Amino acid sequence: MIDVAGPPDLILKDTAPAHLAASLYLSVGGYDASTRNITEMAVSFSSQGRRIGFVADETLTCNGLALQRRGGTFDLKVSTDTFAGKGVTCTYRSGPNLGTIAFTAPVAPAILSPQDNSVVARSARTPVTFRIGGHSTMFYVIALGPSSKAWSDPTGTRPPQVLLDTRAFCPGPGFVALNQFFDKPDLHSTGFQSVELHGQAVQQIGVTWA
C-alpha cells in the first residue's frame, strides 16, 4: 500500500463530497518483476487541510472497481493495462450523496532500447530510448553497473533518448531504469471542493554490460 502516514485523521459527521477535497496518487510500474506491470491508486480526502477518516458507509469505485478502504484512504492495485491510456471515472458515495472524479490514465512508461536481458556494450554514448506517459513534471534515466551508475537529462529526440557514459562500468549484470513524475491536466471532478492528482511511473530492465 502507498504510504499515507501522518497526523490522526479528522472524523466528520457529514462526509458529503461538498465538504471534501480529494487527492489521488498513482504509482505505475516498479523496479522488480512483481510490480513492473502493476498500477496502484490511493485516494484520500481532506477538510480544512486535515485528512478525513471514514467510519460510516462511504465507498469509492473507479470504472466499476471497488477500492478497499483503510481508515481515511481508498486503495486499489490492478494490472497496468486495466487503466493505461483509458478514461477513468471514480464515484464516491456517502449515504445519498455522491461526487465524481475523472481523468485519462497515462500509458505505461517503457524502455524501448536496449531490450530486457540484452547484452549492452559500454561506451561514452550508450543510447537509451524510452517512452513516457502523462504530463511529465520531471523524469530521468539511470544506468546501474556492478559498482557504478550513470544518468542524464533527455536530449529531446523523439522518441525520447538519452546518451549515457557507461565506460566506467565493470562488465557484468546491471540495470537501466526510467523514473517519471507526472500530473494530469485533464483531471476534473463534480461535487468536491477541489481535486488534485500526482503520480510516479517506474520501468526497469536488466542488462549485461560487456
Domain-embedded: residue 65? yes
pLDDT of 75 > 80? The answer is: yes
- Residue 197's contacts (CB-CB under 8 Å, 6 or more residues apart) are 23, 24, 25, 26, 103, 183, 184, 187
Q: Are 19 and 79 part of one and the same domain?
A: yes
The whole model's pTM is what? Answer: 0.84
Q: Residue 113 and residue 105: Cα distance in Å, rounded? A: 24
pLDDT of 95 > 80? The answer is: yes
pLDDT of 189 > 90? The answer is: yes
Which amino acid is present at 34? S
Mean pLDDT of the chain: 89
Task: Identify the pLDDT of residue 57.
Answer: 87
- 146 DSSP 8-state letter: S
Domain-embedded: residue 118? yes
pLDDT band at 22 (very low <50, low <70, confident <90, very high): very high
Q: Are 193 and 102 part of one and the same domain?
A: yes
Lowest mean pLDDT among 29-38, 67-76, 132-141: 132-141
| Average pLDDT of the segment spanning 180-205 | 92
Domain-embedded: residue 71? yes
Tens of pLDDT, residue by residue over 136-177, are 778 889 999 988 999 987 766 777 889 999 999 999 999 999
Q: Are 33 and 92 part of one and the same domain?
A: yes
pLDDT of 5 > 60? The answer is: no
Tens of pLDDT, residue by residue over 105-122, are 988 888 999 999 999 999
Q: Are 79 and 171 part of one and the same domain?
A: no
Give the total number of structural domains in the chain: 2
Largest CA distance in the chain: 63
Q: Are 140 and 163 part of one and the same domain?
A: yes
Q: Tell me which residue range forms the domain holding 85.
A: 10-106+182-200
| Average pLDDT of the segment spanning 90-94 | 95
**And the C-alpha cell for 180?**
517519471
Domain-embedded: residue 206? no
Q: Are 89 and 21 part of one and the same domain?
A: yes
Q: Are 95 and 38 part of one and the same domain?
A: yes
Task: Identify the pLDDT of residue 160.
Answer: 87
Residue 99: give its domain's CATH number.
2.60.40
* Structural contact between residues 193 and 18, judged by C-beta atoms closer than 8 angstroms: yes
